[in-house]
Amino acid sequence: MDNEVAERIYELDQCIECGCCAARSATENVREDFLGATGLNRIGRFMIDPRDERYSEKWFELVTTDEGVFGCMGLKESKDACLKELPLLEVFAYMRRRMSQVALGKAKSDAGTSLLGIN
């Protein structure tokens, strides 16, 4: 595994699941079924991990619903509230791009690691 990818995975693993992002998220406050920033961060972490054997198509059903990453309003509250200063919006943007590629039939069938400049 490339060192940059390993560092990104390590960074995303630093989430302490304190709930500060959930408390500040407008989406989580209006939608009980929303996966939330903590859950989406965890999913994003596995999506960039080349050791994870799930293909993009497997993630598609989980994260492309209104309960998933496309349901996030993206108002930056969760990122601003993160005690560990995790790049939550960047992770969500990566997930949206990757799932959009799946929808268009352009996704690679292997795990993607193109997150924040990682190719």
Q: Is 119 a member of any domain?
A: no
How many domains are contained in the chain? Answer: 1
pLDDT tens-digit profile of 64-82? 888 888 888 877 777 788 9
Taking 80 as the threshold, does the pLDDT of residue 113 lie above it? no
Q: Which residue shows structure tokens 């560092």?
A: 7
Q: Is 26 a member of any domain?
A: yes
Show the domain range for 53: 3-103
Give buried/exposed letters for 56-82 (b at 16+ CB in 10 A, else e): beebbebbbeebbbebbeeeebbbebb
Nearest alpha-carbon partner for 47 in 85, 9, 7:
9
pLDDT tens-digit profile of 7-48? 999 999 999 999 898 888 888 888 889 898 999 999 999 999
**CATH code assigned at 57:** 1.10.1060.10
Local confidence band at 114 (pLDDT 50, 70, 90 cut-offs): low
